Amino acid sequence: MANKTTAEKLATIQKGYTLEGATIELGAAIVDGELHKEAQVRLPLAMMNRHGLVAGATGTGKTVTLHMIAEQLSTAGVPVFLADIKGDLSGLATAAAGSEKLKARTDSIGQAWAGKTFPVEFLALGGDGNGIPVRATITSFGPILLSRVMELNDTQESSLQLVFHFADKNNLELIDLKDLRAVIQFLTSDEGKDELEELGGLSKATAGVILRELVNLEAQGLERFFGEPEFDTAELLRTAPDGRGVITCLELPTLQTKPMLFSTFLMWLLADLFEDLPKPATWTSPNWCSSSMRPTCFSTAHPRPSSTPSPPRSG
Ligand SMILES: Nc1ncnc2c1ncn2[C@@H]1O[C@H](COP(=O)(O)OP(=O)(O)OP(=O)(O)O)[C@@H](O)[C@H]1O
Ligand SMILES: [Mg+2]
């Protein structure tokens, strides 16, 4: 196959990135080692309902790309959720100071640059960090999600459901892990023998397994996540008074040592948002966009409409 000339490659890129409707501008193409600002690289805003992956070696601009996507989504009125593991997205809250070097760079890729602040909120999982603490109660988490977190089998899961049923019937509030442990301990004690029998289907041995798993969860730092006041996930879907989407940064300084805490939170968050998010028949931009670093990927919370354009194929 004959090699394409630079002009032909450029023409292919330009054609591929000529898009209708609002777009997220990412930069300009480099062809044969040279930057061409006439060949802009962009994503259609309407396509941000898909999953995406920003990959590259260290220092190649993944974080900067994510910054740009978050800023432009916010400007388009889309609330954004960022899981900030390395703490390098907090700069969104403050306007950057320009410099000659920066101006030369942004001019060279055909972007107008101005330092801007964005409406940013900081959250901290279970209070691990300086942001607003994010917590959920055991009751709202429910037995099914909790079983997934504890990796319970079917029998153990239905036993846990019985424990929740017992607590509900007796108006016992299950706020944190201690509450759940206390109910199971009661049911397996001599005092709770009659109640256990009445419940049927919950054996002492299974209750023992669940108790052990609860201790495991505590050891992984989850007792700080379960509790009150419960975080209202609708907070993640807000727009600022000026119409820009609020960018919520979840600080995760201790993720390396508590991976279970983050995966549990994500499970709960997605289950909760799945219930709450509106599902319009047609739309031109996502209602909410989330991203997590390492791996850096973004995904949005909407079903794909059949009219969404195909991704550009050139490059
Ligand atoms: N489009 C760009 N033009 C010029 N400089 C850039 C661009 N994108 C990123 N940089 C610069 O490159 C450096 C590394 O960028 P960034 O932090 O986004 O990399 P990264 O891929 O996230 O790295 P890491 O894997 O270490 O997290 C930064 O100093 C940034 O200013
Ligand atoms: Mg980075």
pLDDT at 76: 94
Dist. CA 212–CA 19, nearest whole Å: 56
Band the pLDDT of 109: cuts 50, 70, 90: confident
pLDDT at 1: 55
Band the pLDDT of 148: cuts 50, 70, 90: confident
The mean per-residue pLDDT over the stretch 21-42 comes to 93
Q: How far is the CA of 61 from the centre of ligand 1 (A)?
A: 3
Position 296 pLDDT exceeds 50: no
Band the pLDDT of 125: cuts 50, 70, 90: confident
pLDDT at 304: 38
Cβ pair 124, 130 in contact under 8 A: yes
The mean per-residue pLDDT over the stretch 224-240 comes to 91
Residue 157: count of CB within 10 angstroms of its CB = 18
Q: Which residues have CB atoms below 5 A from the ion given as ligand 2?
A: 62-63
Position 310 pLDDT exceeds 50: no
pLDDT tens readout for residues 239-255: 999 999 999 998 887 77
Residue type, 154: D
Whether this model's pTM surpasses 0.85 = no
CA distances from 74 to 12, 116, 185, 243, 269 (A): 30, 12, 48, 9, 20
Q: Is the CB of 295 under 6 A from ligand 1?
A: no
Q: Give the range among 10-14, 157-161, 178-182, 290-294 with minimum mean pLDDT.
A: 290-294
**Ligand 1 atom index nearest CA of 56:** 21
- Cα-Cα-Cα-Cα dihedral sign, residues 96, 78, 264, 169: positive
Q: How far is the CA of 106 from the centre of ligand 1 (A)?
A: 14
Residue 191: count of CB within 10 angstroms of its CB = 11
Q: Is the CB of 63 under 6 A from ligand 1?
A: yes
Q: How far is the CA of 222 from the centre of ligand 1 (A)?
A: 34
Dist. CA 48–CA 288, nearest whole Å: 9
Q: DSSP letter string over 87-115?
A: S-SGGGGSPPPP-HHHHHHHHHTT-----
**Ligand 1 atom index nearest CA of 86:** 27
Instruction: Say which residues have a Cβ less than 8 Å from residue 177's Cβ, sequence separation at least 6.
Output: 138, 214, 217, 218, 222, 223, 226
Which of 239, 253, 241, 249 shows the shortest CA–CA distance to 287? 239
Q: How far is the CA of 31 from the centre of ligand 2 (A)?
A: 24
Cβ pair 42, 24 in contact under 8 A: yes
pLDDT tens readout for residues 39-79: 999 999 988 888 889 999 999 999 889 989 999 999 999 99
Give me the percent of the chain exceeding a pLDDT of 90: 49
**How far is C-alpha 14 from the geometric centre of its chain's CA atoms?**
32
pLDDT at 232: 92
Dist. CA 37–CA 55, nearest whole Å: 22
The mean per-residue pLDDT over the stretch 157-166 comes to 95
Could you tell me whether strands 132-134 and 52-53 are parallel, antiparallel, or unpaired per DSSP bridges? unpaired
Dist. CA 286–CA 25, nearest whole Å: 16
What 3-state DSSP class applies to 261?
A: helix
Band the pLDDT of 219: cuts 50, 70, 90: confident
pLDDT at 309: 39
Domain spans of the chain, in order of start:
44-134+235-276+286-300, 140-224
pLDDT at 258: 76
Q: Give the range among 44-53, 199-208, 222-231, 300-309 with minimum mean pLDDT.
A: 300-309
- Cα-Cα-Cα-Cα dihedral sign, residues 28, 32, 34, 36: negative
Phi, psi dihedrals of residue 52, rounded to the nearest 5°: -140, 155
Band the pLDDT of 262: cuts 50, 70, 90: confident
CA distances from 122 to 95, 115, 134, 194, 252 (A): 17, 20, 10, 48, 11
